[in-house]
Amino acid sequence: MFEIFIKTHFAGAHHLRDYPGDCEKPHGHNWKVEVAVRATELDQCGMGIDFKVLKKIVGAAVDILDHNDLNTLPYFQDKNPSSEHIARFIFDEIRPQLTSDRYSLYSVTVLETDSQGLTYYGNQN
């Protein structure tokens, strides 16, 4: 089993509705994102998945978030744009493109700062 990952980032604004504190006010973050794919076999070039392919797929999802007020995006109309929901959004956006007989999406990690974040693994049934 191989775990292939890329790291990227995006900047965005948000506010957490009904949050009892400062995060209820509009503010921004420079979120860091790490996406991991697990491969059971390698292709003819000896790769689980080409980094270039993985970056393109993840980049398209992150571009939806980058330099936006996340609260105004359709996905976040009925849910707070918390790091948890951001990780799930990215996971759900990229999962269909990262499922094959050799590899599948494993996790999405989102960090609000260098010292705090979370990892979403999807529904690991």
Q: Where are the domains of the chain?
A: 2-120
- 49-98: per-residue pLDDT in tens? 999 999 999 999 999 999 999 999 999 999 999 999 999 999 999 999 99
* Catalytic one of 3, 27, 67, 84: 67
Residue 124 pLDDT more than 80? no
Distance in angstroms between the alpha carbons of the first and the last residue of the chain: 18
% of the chain with per-residue pLDDT over 90 = 92
84 is catalytic: no
Angle (CA) 87 91 95, round 5°: 175
Which run of H or E residues covers position 59?
helix 51-65
CATH number of 2-120: 3.30.479.10
Residue 103 pLDDT more than 90? yes
Q: What is the model's pTM?
A: 0.94
* Catalytic one of 15, 23, 34, 85: 23
Q: Report pLDDT for 23.
A: 83
Cα(68)–Cα(18) distance, integer angstroms = 21
Q: Report pLDDT for 123.
A: 80
Q: Report pLDDT for 125.
A: 53
Residue-wise over 83-106: b if at least 16 C-beta within 10 A, else e?
bebbbbbbbebbeeebeeebbebb
**Is 3 within 8 Å of 106 (Cβ atoms)?**
yes
